[in-house]
Amino acid sequence: MQHLLAISVGNSRTAVGRFLGDKLEVSDHLENADLAALTHAVARHWAAMDDADALVAMASVNEKVAGPLEKALAAELGTDIHRVRRDLPIPVGTCVDDDTQVGDDRLLAAAAAWDALKQAVVVVDAGTAITVDFVDGEGTFHGGAIAPGASLQLRSLHEHTDQLPRVAFAQPDAEPFGRNTAAAMLLGVHEGLRGMVRQLVERYAEHYGAFPMVIATGGDAETLLAGDELVDRIVPDLVLMGIAVAARHAGEEDEADEEAV
């Protein structure tokens, strides 16, 4: 079983996971702000693997961070950095407009969900943005919806009004009403996003003719959707798991090509 160091560069943070085969042994979520600190943190994960033959694979929705990080890691680790799409195809079919470039994170989460379930599924990824995507029973990604995530909404309220405070996203109080400004902001964003997810899942189910499973991932998934009976599973590192699925499929294709020669 091959060791894999999976790296997913997001808009605000970078996720790093150490895999043995398909098993995620440990993961870490690091801020993007300091490239040197990010490089050293990833290098520590590489050193902990103690496997010179391990594969390093990177996916990204933020090339301003991923490009310099790839160069820094190639020098620091002394090994090739395999990029998703460029070196590792994402093993999921798509049914989207021809000129659409779907983000690595959305397709990798879809690939991981399909690989695990082999049935229709809605994937909710709650991060800087929140995406709600549909994968049909044949494993084809149909796209979905993109909206500002919880922290982005709260920051926008603060920055574009005169009196609303800066508020960090958290679980609202059980109180049915927001009895102060911060509580009202949290309640509005929290329940608004939950309502959006529910409405979209019902929309997809009506079109598909069956109710799909719902998997949630991303840094805000637990705060936003824990306890929601609509959600079947919360899988924090679904995108990293998608990188592992992509690496496995690429390895299987290489083996098949070698056997055919």
Q: Give the residue numbers annotated as catalytic, written as ranges.
A: 105
Give the burial string for 125-151 (b: 16+ CB within 10 Å, else e). Answer: bbbbbbbbbbbbeebbbbbbbeeebbb
Yes or no: say if 234 and 225 are a contact pair by the CB < 8 Å rule. yes
Cα→Cα distances 16→19, 188, 228, Å: 10, 32, 28
Contact 114, 133 (CB under 8 A): no
Q: What residues contact residue 261 under an 8 Å CB cut-off, 6+ apart? A: none
Angle at 57 between CA 52 and CA 61, to 5 degrees: 155
Q: Integer distance in angstroms from the first to the last C-alpha of the chain?
A: 24
